[in-house]
Structure 1
């Protein structure tokens, strides 16, 4: 008898296959190397992990670019102060 939980709480093989199909559906084409029939679940999970890592890199890159933009804005003018204020508001909304 397993100590991990009752049989009713286990995920079935069909549910796992369905979850793998859903994962593969959200991975953009450049990151896909096969279909659910042609690719193993481990390959699809690996593709998903690689895609998530690329998203993290993209977020870091965009954050660096935004920081550089924010520091280059001349806040001595009303327009510059407004731009900086709008960027800060946008960043706060995206963090929610």
Structure 2
């Protein structure tokens, strides 16, 4: 079996740009400062930072919920 991808399954540059644009729409505008157009690299870096901050927030809220539920059991 060949490791090459078939031509129909390759992602084009336009598709990548579309995906990056969609990612940028999901990130708060304040992450990019006053820059109207951020580079693909910066968009992906900010997306990673944003996802990490969301993960921390979920962890914090989960911990608070656990503490609240524990206090109700007492």
User: CA distance change for structure 1 residues 72 and 31 in 2, over 3 Å: closer, same or farther?
Assistant: same
- What's the counterpart of residue 55 of structure 1? 54
Count, aligned residues: 72
Structure 1 Cα separation of the partners of residues 4 and 39 of structure 2? 26
TM-score, normalising length: structure 2:
0.82
Task: Give the unaligned 5+ runs of structure 1.
Answer: 76-96
Structure with more contact order per residue of length (Cα contacts < 8 Å, sep ≥ 6): 2
Alpha-carbon contact 2:32-2:38 (below 8 Å) kept: no
Larger radius of gyration: 1
Task: Give the unaligned 5+ runs of structure 2.
Answer: none
